[in-house]
C-alpha cells in the first residue's frame, strides 16, 4: 500500500504544471509547422472585427456562434503581441490547464501517489482526444471543462443527491450552451439518462420536477439566445436559420463531411458506429463499467459516461449537425477524468488494469484519429509529425489579408466568409463590416461610398455566400464605375475608389 | 403510596440553635413570648430578625412540614396513585419539582396546588383578589423582578413583612431577602393571583417600559422617529441635486440613474445566487441531528418561555395549545404566555373555556399605542421566567423537537450567539396559487437565504416566529422595538451590531400561508413597511453601521434588506417600460440605454429573472414539494403583488408608520400540523378536514 501514500499538493501541482507546459510546447510546435485551425481563425477574426469597429456593440459578435469563447478572447485583444492570432490557442491551453488543475484538486479525494498521478495525467494528456482539444485552438477545450463539470455533477447527484449537484448540473448546461452548439444534443442525450442518475424515489414521485430542476436554466438560456436574436437581428430563429450559423453544424454542407454523408439523418447507424469508435478510442470506459458492476453508485456513473456521448453523437448526426464524431467523442477524455476522481484504486492489480486499458485507449485513439481524420485533423497530425503545411504564399485569404494590412484604407468586405483575411490583417480598424451601419447603407447604394472593396471569386465556396457578390454579381469580374482594380491574386480582388 | 418518613421530629428551637442560627437567650426569649402572646416559634424568630427567612427555611427539613406534596394531593384525592407514580417517574427524567409536573400535566389547578403547598409549609394561603395587598409595600422599580419571579410583598403583620410567594425555594428566598432588605416571612398564593395583581398595580409601569424603554435608553435604534432631521436634510439635498442635474443634463443624468439601478439589481441578483449556493449546503440540514436530540439529558434543559401573542384568534388557540402540549420538552419547564389584548374578550374567553394547564398563563396587555405585537411581547417579557424564550403565532405548528434542538444548538454555538432562528414553512401548501407561491418564497428564505446569511455573517432579519432567544440578551437589548412593524428584522440587525451572533436551526415551524390576496397584501405591506423602517433606522449613521458590520455585513444588509425594498418598488416600473417598449416599439428609451446599460438590463431581464424563477423551483425541490416546481414559472405575477404591497407599505410609512396591518389567520381549510404527510392527505380532502383549523 506504499503506492497509496498521499501526495502533497505542491508535488501534484508541479507535475500538472509540467503537463501544461508540455501542451504549450506541442501547440507551439504545431503552429511552427503551419497548423492553423479554422475555428480559431474564425473566432479570432470575429473578436477583432467586433472590437475594431467604430462602435463596440454586442451585435458585432453576431449571434451565429456561441458567445462565451468570444468573450473569453476579448482580454487577449488588448494584449500587445497577440495580433497574429495566437490568442485562441492560448485560450485552449488555459482551458486545459484549468481542467487539469481542477482534476488534480478533485483527485485528492482518492489519495493517489505521485507516481500514479503522473502516469494517469500523462495518459490522459497524450490521448488524441485531449491533445487535439487542448492544442487545436478550438472551443472543444472549453467544452471539455464544461463536460467535466457536468459529469462531476452527475456523479454527485448519484452519490450525494444534494441540491448543489442539481444546481451544478443545471448551471453547467447553461454555460455549455454558450460555449458549444452541440450542448443542445448533449443536453437532450442526458434526458433519458437522468433516470439512471437521479434517485429512484425522486423519479417515482415527480419526474417532471426533476426535469424542470435540471432543464429549466438550459431552456432559459436557449430562450434568452432566441430573444437576443429577435432584439438584434429581428428573428427568434435567426441563429438556426442563417446559413453561416455555427448552430447548424454541418447541415448545409453535408457533402463536405464523410460522416454526415454516411450517417446523416439517421439515429441507430451512427449510434452503432459511434459505439465502435468508442470501443477503439476509449475501451477504458468499458473497463470502468465492468469494474464497477458491484458498486451501484459507481456503476450508474460509468454507465452514463459510456452511453451519454454515444446518444449525443447519434442525435447530433440525425440532425445533420455533427461533422465528425470526435467533436463529441473527445469530451469522453474529460468524462473519464471526472470518473477517475471517484475510482479508489485500492490494489496494484486494479491500477495496473486501469493503466493497461488507458494505454490501449491511447493507442486505439491515435489509430482512429488518424484513420478517420477530416482535413483539419489531418493537417494537425501532419504538423505534429513535423511535416510543414502547404506553402502559405498560396493561401489567397492570407495573402489578401497581408496586402490589406499594408494598405489600410477603409475597405468594404463581408467578414463572415473572410475570417482568415481579417485574422491575417491583424485588426479590423477601417474595415466596413456587415454588422455596421455603414455597410448596410453601402449595400443600399448603387455605387458604395467607400475607399476600397474586397471581394472573393464568386464561384468559390466563400464567394457564393459573400453578400457583396450577391448584391453586386458583376463586381468581381467587371469591377464597378468609379473603382479601379488594385489587387488580384489567388481568388481575391480589391477595387479602390478612383482618386482615393 | 406514602412518602412520609418516620422518626421523631426534633424541636425547631433546638434545630436552629444546633445550627448556630440563634443563641440560647434568644430561644428562651422566644419561648417566653410564645407563652405570653401565643403564635408559632418560627414566626417569632423571623419577626425578631434573629434569623433570616432564607436560613430559616433552609434549616427546615421535611420533618417540619406536614407531609409531602404528592402524599397530600393523594390524600385529598386530587390525584390518583397512578398519576403520582407517573409524576415521580417523570421527575427522574425531567429533574423538576413534583408540583410543577403535576401542574404541567393539568391534574390539579394552580390554586389547588397553592393550597396544598400552604398545608405543606404550614403557611397561610392567601387569595390576593380577596385579601388585597398593601400597595405601599410595593417598590415600583422592582415590578419586573416580582413578575419575573412570582412573588410580591403582601402585608405587614405583627411588624413582620409578609411576602406572597408561589413556591418556596432557597434561591427565591435569597432574592426576596435581598430585595426587601428586612426580616420577612412568606404566605403562599397562586401564580395567577400574583400575575393578576401585578398587572393591576403595575399596568402603567409595564406599559411604559414596553412602549418607551428602547426609545429612552437607545433612541438611535427606535423607529418612533421615522425620518431623522439628518435624513430629511440628506433627502432634500439629494432631490434638489437630482432635479438640477436632470434639468441641466437630462440624458446623462437619466443614463447614470439607469446605470445605478441596473448595477444594483445585478448585484442584488448576484447576492441571491451566492446565498442560494451557500445556504444549499447539506451541513445546514444537519446542524442538530436526531441522535443529538435523543441523547440530550432532559434534566439539564432550562426553563423555556414561549410567547404567544394573539389577537382575535380564538379559533386557532386550541390548535396551538395542542401543538405546545405535544412538544418534546419537559412540560414543567415550559413557561407559556398567552399574550392577549385587553379588549380581546373573544380569545380570553376561549382560553378560560379551554381550562388550560398551569403552564399556560394569560397576560392581558392593556390598551395603549402603538398597538403592535412587539409592544405586547415586551409587556409579557416582564413575566417570563425562562432562561430561553421563543415566540410562536397562534396558527403555528412547530416540529415537536424544536425546543430541544434550539437548546442543543445554543450549546454548540459560540458563546455570543443570542438568538437562533428556526425555519418557517406552511402546512397549507397546495391550497391555492398564493399559498404555493408563499411556500416557495418562505422555503427559499428560510432554507437557503438565512443559513447563508449566518454563514457569511450578514445580519439576519429574523422571522416573525420561532426565533429562540437567550432571555438575558433579549432583556439587555430592551426587547423588541414596539414602533417597528417588522420588529423581528430590526432586532436581528441590532443584535449583530451589538456583537451577537444570530444563528439558524434545522427545525421547522409550519404556519398557515395566507390564502387570500387582500389579506396577503395587508401582511406584506406591513413587512415591507417594516423593512423600510428598519433600513431607515439602521442607516441613520451609515459609517457607524459599516464599522460594526464590516464590509460583507454592511453590503449584505444594503442588498438583502435594501434590495428587497428597491426590487419591490422598481419591478412595476421596469415591467411597465418593458411592456411599453415591446408593445409600441418606441425609441423614446433608446438614448437612456446606451449599449453597456442595455446589456446589463438585458442580463437582468433574461438571465437574472430566469434564475430568480429557478431559485423558487429549487426551494420547492429541496423541501420535496415537487408539485410546486412548475408553479414557479408564474412567480413574476407574485412579484407584481409584492410591488403592490411595497407601494402600499411605502404610502403607510409616510402616512401611518406605526399602524399594524393585522393578518387574519384561521382562513385555511387545511389541518394545522407539522406532519406534512398528514397535510398532504388533508389537502386531498380539504373540506372533510376543514374543521381542524376551526374546531
* Contact check, Cβ <8 Å, A163/B621: yes
In chain A, the residue whose alpha carbon lies closest to the alpha carbon of B629 is A209
A82 and A147 inside one domain: yes
Residue from the list B611, B622, B630 with its beta carbon closest to the beta carbon of A163: B622
A282 and A300 inside one domain: yes
pLDDT > 90: percent of chain A: 58
Q: What residues contact residue B199 under an 8 Å CB cut-off, 6+ apart?
A: B206, B363, B364, B366
All residues of chain A having their beta carbon less than 8 Å from the beta carbon of residue B281 are 162, 164
pLDDT in the model for residue A321: 95
* Contact check, Cβ <8 Å, A212/B280: no
* Position A301 in a domain: yes
* Whether residue B370 has a cis bond before it, omega within 30° of 0: yes
Q: Is A206 on the interface with B (CB under 8 A)?
A: yes
* A199-231 pLDDT tens trace: 888 888 888 999 999 999 999 999 999 999 999
Q: Which of A359, A384, A409 is the last residue of a domain?
A: A384
Taking the C-alpha atoms of residue B422 and residue B285, their distance in angstroms, rounded to an integer, is 11
All residues of chain A having their beta carbon less than 8 Å from the beta carbon of residue B282 are 160, 162-164
Residue from the list A56, A57, A216 with its beta carbon closest to the beta carbon of B614: A216
pLDDT in the model for residue B460: 93
Distance (Å) from the alpha carbon of A163 to chain B's nearest alpha carbon: 6
All residues of chain A having their beta carbon less than 8 Å from the beta carbon of residue B452 are none
A287 and A380 inside one domain: yes
* Contact check, Cβ <8 Å, A224/B621: no
* Position A192 in a domain: yes
**Which of A60, A200, A206 to mutate to test binding with chain B, by most B CBs within 10 Å of its CB?**
A206
Q: Is B606 on the interface with A (CB under 8 A)?
A: yes
The residues with which A483 forms a beta bridge, in sequence order, are: A497
All residues of chain A having their beta carbon less than 8 Å from the beta carbon of residue B621 are 163, 166, 209, 213
pLDDT in the model for residue B491: 95
Taking the C-alpha atoms of residue A59 and residue A63, their distance in angstroms, rounded to an integer, is 7
Q: What residues contact residue B329 under an 8 Å CB cut-off, 6+ apart?
A: B298, B301, B304, B403, B404
All residues of chain A having their beta carbon less than 8 Å from the beta carbon of residue B635 are none
* Position A57 in a domain: no
Copy the grid coordinates of residue A331.
Answer: 469530451
A397 and A337 inside one domain: no
pLDDT in the model for residue B2: 39
Copy the grid coordinates of residue B363.
Answer: 397576560
Assign A367 a pLDDT band (cuts: 50, 70, 90). Answer: very high
Domain tally, chain A: 2
**Which of A55, A167, A222, A225 to mutate to test binding with chain B, by most B CBs within 10 Å of its CB?**
A167
A251-290 residues touching B, CB cutoff 8 A: none
* Contact check, Cβ <8 Å, B617/A213: yes
Taking the C-alpha atoms of residue B603 and residue B273, their distance in angstroms, rounded to an integer, is 14
pLDDT in the model for residue A436: 86
Q: What residues contact residue B27 under an 8 Å CB cut-off, 6+ apart?
A: B13, B16, B17
- Map grid coordinates 466568409 to a residue: A417
Taking the C-alpha atoms of residue B308 and residue B464, their distance in angstroms, rounded to an integer, is 11
A375 and A410 inside one domain: no
* Contact check, Cβ <8 Å, A162/B282: yes
Q: Please name which of A219, A239, A243 lies closest in space to residue A229, comparing C-alpha atoms.
A: A239
Distance (Å) from the alpha carbon of B283 to chain A's nearest alpha carbon: 10
Q: What residues contact residue B238 under an 8 Å CB cut-off, 6+ apart?
A: none
* Position A54 in a domain: no
Give this complex's ipTM: 0.88
**Which of B582, B598, B602, B608 to mutate to test binding with chain A, by most A CBs within 10 Å of its CB?**
B602
Q: Is B236 on the interface with A (CB under 8 A)?
A: no
In chain B, the residue whose alpha carbon lies closest to the alpha carbon of A206 is B626
* Position A38 in a domain: no
- For A174, B323, B334, B437, B679, the CA distances from B673, given in Å and listed in that order, are 40, 8, 21, 19, 7
All residues of chain A having their beta carbon less than 8 Å from the beta carbon of residue B626 are 202, 205-206, 208-210
In chain A, the residue whose alpha carbon lies closest to the alpha carbon of B594 is A57
**Which of B611, B621, B634 to mutate to test binding with chain A, by most A CBs within 10 Å of its CB?**
B621
Q: Is B578 on the interface with A (CB under 8 A)?
A: no
* Position A27 in a domain: yes
Q: Is A164 on the interface with B (CB under 8 A)?
A: yes
Q: Is B78 on the interface with A (CB under 8 A)?
A: no
All residues of chain B having their beta carbon less than 8 Å from the beta carbon of residue A215 are none
Residue A344 has pLDDT above 80, yes or no: no
Q: Is A166 on the interface with B (CB under 8 A)?
A: yes
Domains of chain B (ranges plus CATH)?
Answer: 270-573+661-692 (3.90.550.10)
Distance (Å) from the alpha carbon of B295 to chain A's nearest alpha carbon: 27
Q: Please name which of B140, B117, B132, B121 lies closest in space to residue B189, comparing C-alpha atoms.
A: B117
All residues of chain B having their beta carbon less than 8 Å from the beta carbon of residue A208 are 626, 629-630
> Rg of chain A over CA atoms, in angstroms?
24
Sequence-ordered strand ranges (E) for B346-393: 360-365, 388-391
A440 and A342 inside one domain: no
Assign A291 a pLDDT band (cuts: 50, 70, 90). Answer: confident
All residues of chain A having their beta carbon less than 8 Å from the beta carbon of residue B599 are 58
* Position A53 in a domain: no
Q: Is A167 on the interface with B (CB under 8 A)?
A: yes
Assign A9 a pLDDT band (cuts: 50, 70, 90). Answer: low
pLDDT in the model for residue B63: 58
Residue A6 has pLDDT above 80, yes or no: no
Residue from the list A57, A209, A224 with its beta carbon closest to the beta carbon of B626: A209
User: Torsions phi, psi of A199, nearest 5?
Assistant: -65, 145
Assign A4 a pLDDT band (cuts: 50, 70, 90). Answer: very low
* B397-434 pLDDT tens trace: 999 999 999 999 999 999 999 999 999 999 998 899 99
Q: How many residues does chain A have?
A: 500
Q: Which of A356, A384, A412 is the last residue of a domain?
A: A384
A351 and A332 inside one domain: yes
pLDDT in the model for residue A2: 42
How many contacts (CB atoms, under 8 Å) link A and B?
A: 70
A372 and A397 inside one domain: no
All residues of chain A having their beta carbon less than 8 Å from the beta carbon of residue B629 are 206, 208-209, 212-213
Distance (Å) from the alpha carbon of B646 to chain A's nearest alpha carbon: 28
Taking the C-alpha atoms of residue A95 and residue A134, their distance in angstroms, rounded to an integer, is 8
The residues with which B452 forms a beta bridge, in sequence order, are: none
Q: Count CB neighbours of B223 within 10 A.
A: 26
pLDDT in the model for residue B683: 45
In chain A, the residue whose alpha carbon lies closest to the alpha carbon of B277 is A164
pLDDT in the model for residue B10: 61
B278-317 residues touching A, CB cutoff 8 A: 280-282
Taking the C-alpha atoms of residue A400 and residue A395, their distance in angstroms, rounded to an integer, is 9
pLDDT in the model for residue A465: 85
* Contact check, Cβ <8 Å, B602/A56: no
Mean pLDDT (chain A) is 90
Mean pLDDT (chain B) is 88
* A108-163 pLDDT tens trace: 888 778 888 889 999 999 999 999 999 999 999 999 999 999 999 999 999 888 99
Residue from the list B277, B611, B630 with its beta carbon closest to the beta carbon of A212: B630
pLDDT in the model for residue B99: 85
A139 and A262 inside one domain: yes
All residues of chain B having their beta carbon less than 8 Å from the beta carbon of residue A217 are 610-611, 614
B447 within 8 A of B619, measured Cβ to Cβ: yes
Residue A345 has pLDDT above 80, yes or no: no
- Map grid coordinates 380569545 to a residue: B347
* Contact check, Cβ <8 Å, A167/B277: yes
The residue with greater pLDDT, B35 or A357, is: A357
Copy the grid coordinates of residue B13.
Answer: 428551637
CA atoms within 13 A on the CB side of A191: 15
A217 and A70 inside one domain: yes
pLDDT in the model for residue B185: 85
A138 and A239 inside one domain: yes
- Average pLDDT value for residue range A350-370: 94
All residues of chain B having their beta carbon less than 8 Å from the beta carbon of residue A57 are 595
pLDDT in the model for residue B68: 77
A347 and A450 inside one domain: no
* Contact check, Cβ <8 Å, B617/A164: no
Return the minimum-mean-pLDDT range out of A72-76, A261-265, A440-444, B179-183.
B179-183
Q: How many residues does chain B have?
A: 695
pLDDT in the model for residue A11: 73
CA atoms within 13 A on the CB side of A358: 22
Q: What residues contact residue A349 under an 8 Å CB cut-off, 6+ apart?
A: none
Q: Is B277 on the interface with A (CB under 8 A)?
A: yes
Domain membership of residue A444 as a residue range: 392-497
All residues of chain B having their beta carbon less than 8 Å from the beta carbon of residue A212 are 617, 629-630
In chain A, the residue whose alpha carbon lies closest to the alpha carbon of B595 is A57
Residue from the list B614, B622, B626 with its beta carbon closest to the beta carbon of A206: B626
Taking the C-alpha atoms of residue B44 and residue A237, their distance in angstroms, rounded to an integer, is 102
* B279-300 pLDDT tens trace: 999 999 989 999 999 999 999 9
Q: Which of A384, A419, A451 is the last residue of a domain?
A: A384
Segments of chain B scoring below 70 in pLDDT: 1-10, 61-67, 672, 674-695
Amino acid at each position: 500500500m506504499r503506492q497509496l501514500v498521499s501526495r502533497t499538493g505542491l508535488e501534484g501541482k508541479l507535475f500538472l504544471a509540467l503537463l501544461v507546459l508540455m501542451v504549450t510546447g506541442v501547440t507551439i510546435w504545431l503552429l511552427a509547422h503551419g497548423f492553423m485551425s479554422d475555428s480559431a481563425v474564425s473566432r479570432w477574426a470575429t473578436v477583432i472585427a467586433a472590437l475594431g469597429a467604430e462602435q463596440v456593440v454586442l451585435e458585432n459578435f453576431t449571434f451565429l456562434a456561441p458567445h462565451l469563447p468570444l468573450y473569453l478572447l476579448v482580454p487577449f485583444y488588448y494584449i500587445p503581441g497577440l495580433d497574429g492570432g495566437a490568442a485562441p490557442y492560448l485560450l485552449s491551453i488555459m482551458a486545459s490547464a484549468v481542467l487539469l488543475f481542477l482534476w488534480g484538486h478533485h483527485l485528492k479525494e482518492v489519495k493517489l501517489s505521485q507516481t500514479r498521478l503522473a502516469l494517469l495525467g500523462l495518459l490522459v494528456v497524450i490521448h488524441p482526444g485531449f491533445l487535439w482539444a487542448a492544442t487545436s485552438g478550438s472551443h472543444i477545450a472549453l467544452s471539455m471543462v464544461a463536460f467535466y463539470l457536468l459529469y462531476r455533477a452527475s456523479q454527485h447527484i448519484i452519490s450525494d443527491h444534494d441540491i448543489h449537484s442539481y444546481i451544478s448540473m443545471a448551471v453547467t448546461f447553461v454555460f455549455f450552451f454558450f460555449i458549444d452548439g452541440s450542448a443542445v444534443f448533449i443536453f437532450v442525450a442526458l434526458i433519458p439518462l437522468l433516470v439512471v442518475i437521479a434517485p429512484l424515489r425522486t423519479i417515482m414521485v415527480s419526474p417532471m420536477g426533476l426535469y424542470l430542476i435540471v432543464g429549466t436554466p438550459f431552456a432559459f438560456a436557449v430562450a434568452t439566445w432566441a430573444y437576443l436574436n429577435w432584439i438584434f437581428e429581428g428573428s427568434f430563429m435567426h441563429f438556426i436559420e442563417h446559413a453561416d450559423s455555427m448552430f447548424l453544424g454541418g447541415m448545409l454542407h453535408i457533402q463536405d463531411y464523410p460522416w454526415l454523408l454516411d450517417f446523416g439523418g439517421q439515429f441507430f447507424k451512427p449510434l452503432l458506429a459511434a459505439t465502435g469508435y468508442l470501443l477503439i478510442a476509449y475501451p477504458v470506459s468499458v473497463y470502468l463499467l465492468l469494474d464497477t458492476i458491484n458498486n451501484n453508485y459507481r456503476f450508474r456513473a460509468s454507465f452514463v459516461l459510456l452511453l451519454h456521448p454515444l446518444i449525443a453523437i447519434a442525435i447530433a448526426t440525425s440532425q445533420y449537425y455533427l461533422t465528425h464524431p470526435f467533436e463529441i467523442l473527445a469530451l469522453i477524455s474529460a468524462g473519464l477524468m471526472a470518473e477517475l476522481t471517484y475510482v479508489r484504486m485500492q490494489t496494484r492489480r486494479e491500477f495496473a488494469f486501469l493503466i493497461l486499458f488507458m494505454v490501449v485507449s491511447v493507442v486505439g485513439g491515435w489509430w482512429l484519429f488518424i484513420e478517420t481524420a477530416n482535413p483539419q485533423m489531418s493537417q494537425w497530425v501532419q504538423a505534429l509529425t513535423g511535416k510543414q503545411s502547404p506553402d502559405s504564399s498560396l493561401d489567397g485569404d492570407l495573402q489578401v489579408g497581408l496586402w490589406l494590412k499594408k494598405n489600410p484604407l477603409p475597405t468594404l468586405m463581408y467578414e463572415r466568409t473572410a475570417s482568415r483575411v481579417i485574422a491575417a490583417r491583424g485588426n479590423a480598424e477601417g474595415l466596413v463590416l456587415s454588422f455596421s451601419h455603414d455597410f448596410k447603407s453601402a449595400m443600399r447604394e448603387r455605387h458604395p461610398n467607400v475607399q476600397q472593396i474586397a471581394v472573393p471569386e464568386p464561384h468559390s465556396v466563400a464567394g457564393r455566400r459573400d453578400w457583396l457578390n450577391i448584391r453586386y454579381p458583376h463586381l468581381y469580374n467587371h469591377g464597378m464605375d468609379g473603382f479601379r482594380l488594385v489587387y488580384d491574386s489567388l481568388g481575391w480582388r480589391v477595387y479602390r475608389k478612383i482618386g482615393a | 403510596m406514602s412518602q412520609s418518613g418516620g422518626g421523631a421530629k426534633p424541636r425547631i428551637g433546638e434545630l436552629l440553635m444546633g445550627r448556630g442560627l440563634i443563641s440560647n437567650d434568644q430561644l428562651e426569649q422566644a419561648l417566653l413570648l410564645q407563652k405570653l402572646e401565643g403564635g408559632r416559634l418560627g414566626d417569632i424568630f423571623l419577626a425578631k430578625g434573629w434569623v433570616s427567612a432564607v436560613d430559616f427555611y433552609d434549616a427546615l427539613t421535611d420533618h417540619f412540614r406536614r407531609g409531602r406534596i404528592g402524599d397530600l394531593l393523594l390524600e385529598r384525592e386530587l390525584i390518583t396513585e397512578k398519576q403520582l407514580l407517573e409524576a415521580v417517574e417523570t421527575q427522574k427524567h425531567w429533574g423538576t419539582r413534583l408540583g410543577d409536573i403535576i401542574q404541567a400535566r393539568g391534574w390539579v389547578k394552580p390554586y389547588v396546588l397553592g393550597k396544598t403547598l400552604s398545608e405543606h409549609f404550614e403557611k397561610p394561603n392567601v387569595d390576593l383578589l380577596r385579601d388585597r395587598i398593601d400597595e405601599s409595600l410595593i417598590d415600583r422599580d422592582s415590578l419586573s423582578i416580582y413578575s419575573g419571579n412570582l412573588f410580591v410583598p403582601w402585608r405587614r403583620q405583627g411588624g413582620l413583612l409578609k411576602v406572597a410567594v408561589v413556591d418556596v425555594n432557597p434561591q427565591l428566598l435569597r432574592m426576596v431577602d435581598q430585595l426587601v432588605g428586612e426580616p420577612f416571612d412568606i404566605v403562599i398564593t397562586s401564580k395567577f393571583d400574583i400575575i393578576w395583581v401585578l398587572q393591576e398595580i403595575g399596568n402603567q409601569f409595564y406599559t411604559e417600559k414596553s412602549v418607551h424603554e428602547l426609545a429612552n435608553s437607545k433612541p438611535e435604534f427606535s423607529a418612533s422617529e421615522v425620518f431623522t432631521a439628518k435624513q430629511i436634510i440628506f433627502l432634500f439635498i439629494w432631490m434638489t441635486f437630482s432635479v438640477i442635474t436632470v434639468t441641466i443634463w437630462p440624458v446623462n443624468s437619466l443614463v447614470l440613474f439607469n446605470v445605478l439601478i441596473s448595477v444594483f439589481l445585478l448585484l442584488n441578483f448576484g447576492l441571491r445566487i451566492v446565498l442560494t449556493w451557500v445556504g444549499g449546503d447539506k451541513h445546514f440540514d444537519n446542524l442538530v441531528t436526531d441522535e443529538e436530540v435523543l441523547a440530550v439529558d432532559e434534566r439539564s434543559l432550562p426553563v423555556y418561555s414561549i410567547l404567544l401573542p394573539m389577537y382575535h384568534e380564538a379559533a386557532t388557540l386550541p390548535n396551538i395549545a395542542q401543538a405546545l402540549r405535544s412538544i418534546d420538552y419537559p412540560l414543567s419547564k415550559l413557561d407559556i404566555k398567552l399574550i392577549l389584548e385587553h379588549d380581546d374578550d373573544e380569545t380570553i374567553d376561549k382560553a378560560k373555556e379551554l381550562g388550560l394547564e398551569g403552564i399556560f398563563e394569560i397576560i392581558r396587555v392593556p390598551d395603549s399605542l402603538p398597538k403592535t405585537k412587539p409592544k405586547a411581547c415586551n409587556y409579557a417579557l416582564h413575566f417570563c421566567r425562562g432562561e430561553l424564550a421563543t415566540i410562536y403565532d397562534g396558527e403555528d405548528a412547530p416540529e415537536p423537537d424544536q425546543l430541544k434542538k434550539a437548546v442543543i444548538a445554543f450549546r454548540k454555538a459560540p458563546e455570543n450567539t443570542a438568538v437562533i432562528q428556526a425555519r418557517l414553512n406552511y402546512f397549507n401548501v397546495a391550497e391555492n396559487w398564493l399559498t404555493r407561491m408563499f411556500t416557495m418564497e418562505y422555503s427559499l428564505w428560510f432554507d437557503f437565504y438565512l443559513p447563508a446569511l449566518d454563514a457569511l455573517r450578514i445580519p439576519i432579519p429574523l422571522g416573525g416566529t420561532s426565533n429562540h432567544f437567550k432571555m438575558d440578551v433579549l432583556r439587555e437589548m430592551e426587547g423588541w422595538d414596539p414602533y417597528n412593524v417588522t420588529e423581528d428584522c430590526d432586532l436581528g440587525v441590532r443584535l449583530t451590531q451589538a456583537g451577537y451572533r444570530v444563528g439558524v436551526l434545522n427545525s421547522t415551524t409550519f404556519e398557515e400561508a395566507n390564502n387570500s390576496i387582500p389579506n396577503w397584501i395587508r401582511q406584506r405591506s406591513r413587512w415591507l413597511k417594516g423593512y423600510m423602517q428598519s433600513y431607515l433606522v439602521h442607516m441613520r449613521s451609515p459609517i457607524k453601521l459599516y464599522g460594526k458590520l464590516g464590509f460583507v455585513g454592511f453590503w449584505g444588509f444594503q442588498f438583502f434588506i435594501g434590495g428587497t425594498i428597491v426590487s419591490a418598488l422598481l419591478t412595476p416600473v421596469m415591467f411597465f417600460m418593458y411592456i411599453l417598449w415591446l408593445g409600441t416599439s418606441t425609441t423614446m428609451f433608446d438614448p437612456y440605454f446606451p449599449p453597456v446599460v442595455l446589456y446589463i438590463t438585458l442580463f437582468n431581464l433574461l438571465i437574472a429573472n430566469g434564475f430568480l424563477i429557478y431559485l423558487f423551483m429549487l426551494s420547492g425541490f429541496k423541501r420535496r414539494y415537487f408539485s410546486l416546481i412548475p408553479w414557479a414559472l408564474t412567480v413574476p405575477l407574485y412579484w407584481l403583488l409584492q410591488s403592490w404591497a411595497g407601494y402600499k407599505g411605502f404610502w403607510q410609512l409616510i402616512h401611518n408608520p406605526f399602524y399594524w396591518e393585522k393578518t387574519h389567520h384561521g382562513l385555511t381549510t387545511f389541518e394545522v400540523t407539522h406532519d406534512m404527510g398528514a397535510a398532504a392527505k388533508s389537502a386531498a380532502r380539504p373540506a372533510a378536514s376543514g374543521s381542524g383549523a376551526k374546531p
